[in-house]
């Protein structure tokens, strides 16, 4: 009898844990971004955990409780997308609606300078990248070109919405499984979906603490690639995923 109760409790716990891993509640990080002076960068058109799309329309409630699972940058088709840190390509292909052509990268803590293994996904690419699974890319190098794949029809209309959707998962392990109908979902072991801006925080140690940072630490200052691909400031491990225009000569 006692064994039966113990088993029931264990089963209930593991079922709960699975639900949490698959679809934990996401919340806004409270972070915002400021770019280096002299650089004009595409602003975030829909931040992580936003209830609205780039056009201020309200998101569908059946995905992440209506909250945005990544950050969007509106981009012209064919804009180069850059590796956010030194990374390894772990998956790429064409997914379904609202996903399009995607590429997944994995960065180690040494790569990203954070305590986490970071699994990042760029969506809606215009074409399959020329990279292969297992290829390694340096921070700021081109991993694909932006597009509107997966967005044509329904809300976004016949031309779709050309943008980068970047999702980031943070976890303690390099292990992952590939899941989903299109093999398009990388599930990092115990990894959590959270704001891509977290990548650009200094001295990050745990995800919950981000929500209680003092206001003066809630603005992140990413390094950016300029017109010639040079990264400014130098020496950072993470880079903004799209290059910026230099307004003035330094």
Q: Give whichever of 46 and 111 is closer to Zn ion, judged by the CB atom.
A: 46
Q: Are 200 and 139 in contact (CB under 8 A)?
A: no
Q: Are 225 and 82 in contact (CB under 8 A)?
A: yes
CB of 189 to Zn ion, least distance (A): 24
CB of 179 to Zn ion, least distance (A): 20
CA distances from 57 to 66, 156, 178, 238 (A): 11, 11, 32, 31
Cβ-closest residue to Zn ion?
A: 165
Q: Give whichever of 67 and 142 is closer to Zn ion, judged by the CB atom.
A: 67
Q: Give whichever of 163 and 236 is closer to Zn ion, judged by the CB atom.
A: 163
In terms of C-beta density within 10 A (0-12 exposed, 13-18 middle, 19 or more buried), how is residue 3 classed? exposed
CB of 235 to Zn ion, least distance (A): 30
CB of 167 to Zn ion, least distance (A): 8
Q: Which residues bind Zn ion (CB under 5 A)?
A: 70, 72, 165
Go through the chain and tell me how many residues it has: 250
Q: Give whichever of 111 and 151 is closer to Zn ion, judged by the CB atom.
A: 151
Instruction: Say if strands 176-179 and 136-137 run parallel, antiparallel, or are unpaired.
Output: unpaired
Q: Closest Cα to residue 106, out of 133, 68, 129, 127?
A: 133
CB of 47 to Zn ion, least distance (A): 10
Q: Give whichever of 70 and 144 is closer to Zn ion, judged by the CB atom.
A: 70
Q: Are 172 and 127 in contact (CB under 8 A)?
A: no
CB of 185 to Zn ion, least distance (A): 15
Q: Are 125 and 103 in contact (CB under 8 A)?
A: yes
């Amino acid at each position: 009898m006692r064994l039966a109760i113990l088993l029931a409790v264990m089963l209930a716990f593991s079922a709960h844990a699975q639900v949490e891993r698959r679809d934990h509640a996401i919340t806004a990080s409270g972070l915002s971004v400021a770019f280096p002076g002299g650089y004009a960068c595409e602003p975030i058109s829909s931040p992580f955990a936003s209830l609205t799309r780039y056009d201020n329309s309200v998101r569908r409630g059946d995905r992440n409780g209506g909250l945005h699972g990544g950050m969007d940058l509106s981009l012209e088709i064919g804009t180069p997308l850059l590796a956010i840190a030194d990374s390894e390509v772990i998956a790429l292909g064409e997914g379904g609606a609202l996903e399009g052509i995607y590429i997944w990268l994995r960065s180690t803590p040494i790569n990203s300078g954070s305590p986490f293994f970071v699994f990042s996904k760029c969506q809606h690419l215009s074409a399959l990248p020329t990279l292969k699974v297992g290829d390694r890319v340096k921070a700021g190098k081109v991993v694909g070109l932006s597009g509107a794949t997966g967005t044509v029809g329904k809300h976004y209309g016949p031309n779709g919405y050309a943008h980068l959707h970047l999702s980031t998962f943070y976890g303690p392990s390099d292990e992952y499984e590939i899941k989903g109908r299109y093999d398009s979902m990388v599930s990092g072991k115990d990894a959590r979906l959270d704001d891509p801006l977290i990548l650009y925080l200094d001295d990050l140690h745990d995800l919950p603490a981000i929500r209680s940072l003092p206001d003066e630490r809630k603005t992140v200052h990413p390094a950016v690639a300029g017109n010639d691909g040079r990264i400014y400031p130098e020496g950072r491990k993470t880079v903004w995923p799209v290059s910026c225009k230099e307004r003035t000569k330094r």
